[in-house]
Amino acid sequence: MTLPQFTYLAPTSLEEACDLLREHQGKIKIKAGGTDMIVRLSHRAVKPDYLMGIKKITGLDKISYDAKSGLTIGALALLRDVEIDPDVLEHAPMLARAARATATVQIRNMGTVMGNVCNASPSADNIPTLVAMNAVIIASNGKKEREIPIDEFFLGPGRSALEADEIATAIRVPATSAATGTSYQKISARSKVDIAAVNIGALVTLDSAKKCSAVRISMGAVGPTPLRGAKAETYLLGKEINDKTLAEAGRLAAEDASPISDVRATREYRKLMVEVLTTRALDEAAGLAAA
């Protein structure tokens, strides 16, 4: 594997990194773990003059939780860190499941969850659960921070709402109560180490009468960006989760999916899998909410 020529930059602070982004605008790319970026460079899909590694920036690798602000996953937290972190396992176990479903353990020990998000691939494993949990991406230009709701973050395949001089510094995931459950479901041609043909994240909150008081469904690999199952969400609000409502929600989710046929699956198969996986995801999330 050969790479195109570039100058490698390794800033040690956020301020320095964002200054470099401004100085070399249009000619610079960011690298975290590099598991996507190095492949893109070797394919000549990108040919930057400068590659900026951000792993020397201190303080971006932390994962923390508090009941008020929820879970915070630093931009340099590895997929493997998220997979085994006690706070993630306790408070957002489906984020750990999604991290575990990503690539091999070797890749998970290099790649970051933020890299998976910023790469903005429609089939990324870690995006559907983050969308279902209504996460927020924290971005900084070295001078000021802003919060980008995840529903507004993805603009197209490989395109995010980050400005040219911004680095994503953390993912904030709101805390959930015991009345809320979540799920991550994925199907791919091979059962392990494969990119999703379809993946679904779901969040369900039940009220004291066991009716659905909040629901978010995120569908991956069935559109250019993660799609919400809006019709199914509207249908489920105020209803009990049972076999009949689950089947109807799955059917409505498939209506909102707009997949293409490609090497991984046909359009028809993807639609069918949205129905199956959405039903499974909602069933699991509701079961965990009731537990």
Ligand X SMILES: Cc1cc2nc3c(=O)[nH]c(=O)nc-3n(C[C@H](O)[C@H](O)[C@H](O)COP(=O)(O)OP(=O)(O)OC[C@H]3O[C@@H](n4cnc5c(N)ncnc54)[C@H](O)[C@@H]3O)c2cc1C
By the rule CB under 6 A, 112 interacts with ligand X: yes
Question: Do you know the residue count of the chain?
Answer: 291
Choice from 124, 227, 257, 265 touching ligand X (CB under 6 A) = 124
Element spanning 209, H or E: none
By the rule CB under 6 A, 36 interacts with ligand X: yes
Whether residue 218 contacts residue 200, with contact meaning beta carbons closer than 8 Å, is answered with yes
Choice from 9, 17, 20, 32 touching ligand X (CB under 6 A) = 32
CA dist 73 and 90 (Å) reads: 14
Choice from 21, 35, 133, 252 touching ligand X (CB under 6 A) = 35
For tokens 């996507």, the residue is 36
Element spanning 7, H or E: strand 7-9
- Closer residue to ligand X (CB): 6 or 211: 6
Q: Closest approach of Cβ 97 to ligand X, in Å?
A: 13
- Closer residue to ligand X (CB): 106 or 258: 106
- Closer residue to ligand X (CB): 32 or 241: 32
Helix 243-256 vs helix 267-290: crossing angle, to nearest 10: 140
Q: Closest approach of Cβ 181 to ligand X, in Å?
A: 23
By the rule CB under 6 A, 111 interacts with ligand X: yes
Tokens of 102: 């990503």
- The DSSP letter of residue 268 is H
Which residue is at the shortest CB distance from ligand X? 115
Using CB under 6 A, count the residues that bind ligand X. Answer: 29
Bridge partners (DSSP) listed for residue 31: 53
Q: What are the C-alpha distances in Å from 254 to residues 166, 217, 279?
A: 35, 11, 10
By the rule CB under 6 A, 136 interacts with ligand X: no
Choice from 24, 29, 251, 280 touching ligand X (CB under 6 A) = 29
Tokens of 243: 């076999």
By the rule CB under 6 A, 219 interacts with ligand X: no
Q: Closest approach of Cβ 108 to ligand X, in Å?
A: 8
Choice from 37, 73, 92, 198 touching ligand X (CB under 6 A) = 37
- Closer residue to ligand X (CB): 100 or 211: 100
Among 15-23, 112-120, 147-155, 171-179, the segment contacting ligand X (CB under 6 A) = 112-120
CA dist 253 and 233 (Å) reads: 8
By the rule CB under 6 A, 211 interacts with ligand X: no
DSSP 3-state of 212: strand
Closest CA to 130 of 80, 170, 84: 170
State the number of CA atoms in the 13 A half-sphere of 18 facing the CB.
17
Among 118-126, 145-153, 221-229, 272-280, the segment contacting ligand X (CB under 6 A) = 118-126
By the rule CB under 6 A, 176 interacts with ligand X: no
CA dist 114 and 97 (Å) reads: 16
By the rule CB under 6 A, 31 interacts with ligand X: yes
User: Within 61-100, which residues bind ligand X (CB under 6 A)?
Assistant: 75, 79
CA dist 22 and 213 (Å) reads: 45
State the number of CA atoms in the 13 A half-sphere of 246 facing the CB.
17
Query: Which residues of this chain interact with ligand X, rule CB under 6 A?
Result: 29-37, 39, 75, 79, 102-103, 107, 110-112, 114-116, 118-119, 124-125, 162, 167-168, 195
